[in-house]
């Protein structure tokens, strides 16, 4: 069974997209079969991190939701290499197995929108979004994914709510800015109302000299949920300018180690879910 993980932030610029992409890459490097869906229709950016060019996209999640394309047909098979996060040339999952660099791992990516005319198309309706749950589950089953990560739009809108409603694990990414701390509580409360099985908080851009114990206590008392990871602020992330994956470029950075621990925790959760699905003999 595929573990569906939704990643959300209350405000743009918090780093949820980077967390989602780097988590997916680390999980792929660890041998997991991983899917990554860019669900941010207004500001899609996962393709920049994965070095996927517009001419390599042959459709998108938006096309699928509107009934214009099959989800499998718009999937891009991206190879994750170890050092520097260099990607093999993406190739559609329908067109056969791509030639991979030695030691690279597949990552199945669905872009949000494939062109600049998104704003000219009709907006998504609830009926369109109803295709999200069953459609991505069937797609994940077809690719035998262990984990599927969905990068949702910042804030709380209907696209985010639909993705949250069908996920097994919600990761809420925030900084210690009080506006984000307060705003994120709304998303966590909604997740509980939607009966999301697990909710975790990722504290991003933690300042130098912060007390990990104090942060964990603040989150536990304020939200009633666990801190999934604390990522220290890193100048290197800003220097990359969204041109590649931080975790692949800097595998020994403290932020990468924190993400790797979170990836390991998700792998353990996947194993537990799979074991629960096994029927007794």
Q: Does residue 59 contact residue 25 with C-beta atoms inside 8 Å?
A: no
Q: Which residues pair with 188 in a beta bridge?
A: none
Out of 97-111, 137-151, 210-224, 225-239, the most confident range is 137-151
- 82 secondary structure, DSSP code: S
Query: SS3 of 155, please?
Result: coil
248 pLDDT above the threshold of 80: yes
Segment 17-56, tens digit of pLDDT: 999 999 999 999 998 999 999 988 888 889 889 988 888 8
Full DSSP string of 54-76: GGG----HHHHHTTSS-TTTT-E
Task: Average the pLDDT over each of 99-113, 116-130, 187-201, 237-251 and give the range with the smallest value.
Answer: 116-130
Collect all residues with Cβ–Cβ distance below 8 Å to 135 and sequence separation of at least 6: 64, 71
Residue 196, domain extent? 3-277
Q: How many domains does the chain have?
A: 1
Closest CA to 268 of 151, 172, 146: 146
**Is the distance from CB of 64 to CB of 131 less than 8 angstroms?**
yes
pLDDT, average across residues 157-175: 89
3-state secondary structure of 124: coil
Give the pLDDT score at 115.
62
Strands 169-174 and 105-110: unpaired
Residue 98 in this model has a pLDDT that exceeds 60: no
184 dihedral zone (left: phi>0; alpha: psi -120 to 50; beta): alpha
The whole-number pLDDT of residue 84 equals: 39
pTM above the 0.85 mark? Answer: yes
What pLDDT shows up at residue 257? 94
pLDDT grade, residue 128 (50/70/90)?
confident
Q: Which string of b and e fits 177-211 if b means at least 16 CB within 10 Å?
A: eeebbebbbebbebbeeeebebbbbbbbbbeeeee
What crossing angle do the helices spanning 158-166 and 126-142 adopt, rounded to 10°? 40
Q: Does the pLDDT at position 94 exceed 50?
A: no
Is residue 235 over pLDDT 90?
no
**Contact of 71 with 110, CB cutoff 8 Å:** yes
pLDDT at 83: 42
End-to-end CA distance of the chain: 18
Q: Find the CATH number of the domain harbouring 199.
A: 3.40.50.300
Q: Residue 267: pLDDT above 70?
A: yes
């Amino acid at each position: 069974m595929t573990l569906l993980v939704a990643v959300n932030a209350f405000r743009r610029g918090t780093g949820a997209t980077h967390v989602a992409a780097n988590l997916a890459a680390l999980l792929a490097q660890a041998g997991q079969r991983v899917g990554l869906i860019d669900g941010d229709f207004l500001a899609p950016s996962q393709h920049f991190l994965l070095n996927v060019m517009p001419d390599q996209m042959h459709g998108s999640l938006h096309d699928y939701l509107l009934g214009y394309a099959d989800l499998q047909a718009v999937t891009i098979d991206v190879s994750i290499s170890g050092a520097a996060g260099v990607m093999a040339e993406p190739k559609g999952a329908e067109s056969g197995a791509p030639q991979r660099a030695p030691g690279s791992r597949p990552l199945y990516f669905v872009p949000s929108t494939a062109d600049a005319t998104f704003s000219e198309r009709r907006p998504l309706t609830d009926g369109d979004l109803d295709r999200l749950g069953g459609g991505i589950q069937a797609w994940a089953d077809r690719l035998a994914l262990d984990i599927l990560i969905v990068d949702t739009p910042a804030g709380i809108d209907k696209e985010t709510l639909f993705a949250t409603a069908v996920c097994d694990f919600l990761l809420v990414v925030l900084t210690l800015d009080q506006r984000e701390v307060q705003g994120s509580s709304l998303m966590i409360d909604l997740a509980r109302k939607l009966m999301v099985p697990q909710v975790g908080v990722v504290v991003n851009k933690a300042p130098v000299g912060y007390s990990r114990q104090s942060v964990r206590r603040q989150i536990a008392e304020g939200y009633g949920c666990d801190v999934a990871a604390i990522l220290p602020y890193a100048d290197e992330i800003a220097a990359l300018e969204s041109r590649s994956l931080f975790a692949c470029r800097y595998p020994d950075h403290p932020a990468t180690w924190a993400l790797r621990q979170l990836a390991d925790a998700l792998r353990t959760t996947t194993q537990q879910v799979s074991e629960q699905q096994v029927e007794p003999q």
